[in-house]
Structure 1
Amino acid sequence: MKQIKWTLLLYAILAAALIAGIGVAIAEQSIIGTLACIIAVILVMGMGFKTKKRMRENGQL
């Protein structure tokens, strides 16, 4: 059985929550909230992919 990579799981859950936040911000008609969530999603997903690449290079995946 494969081990759970908790850091990658955390990034995935956080990105999903931020994507939901985009929907909430749009429903609330908050331009600032929408833009903040979009920027945060880009940053979190970028950090997740960067972490995954580093783990693959170190043989941890």
Structure 2
Amino acid sequence: MQRQNVIFLILAITTAIFMMLIGVAIGEGSILGIIGSIIGVILIMGIGFAYKGKLRKKE
């Protein structure tokens, strides 16, 4: 596997974990958990899109 693919895999798994944490936080009734998980999803996805754009500019 190429290095870029491993990085994207890690970002995808991390995003999926944060999405699952949103459900857990809803079940627990934790507003802070919900907000934190949503922010985590947005941040990790943003990092992934920025990295992908950086790779496209490099080519």
Aligned length in residues: 58
Identity of aligned residues (%): 43
CA RMSD of aligned residues (A): 1.4
TM-score normalised by structure 1 residue count: 0.86
Residues 42-57 of structure 1: pairs in structure 2 closer than 5 A = 42-57=42-57
Q: Runs of at least 4 residues of structure 1 off by over 6 A?
A: none
What residue ranges of structure 1 are gaps of 5+ in the alignment?
none
Greater helix percent: which structure?
2
- Counterparts in 2 of 1:14-33, with a 5 A limit? 14-33=14-33
Greater relative contact order structure (CA < 8 Å, 6+ sep): 1
Using structure 2 for the length normalisation, give the TM-score: 0.89
The AA in structure 1 aligned to 2:52 is K
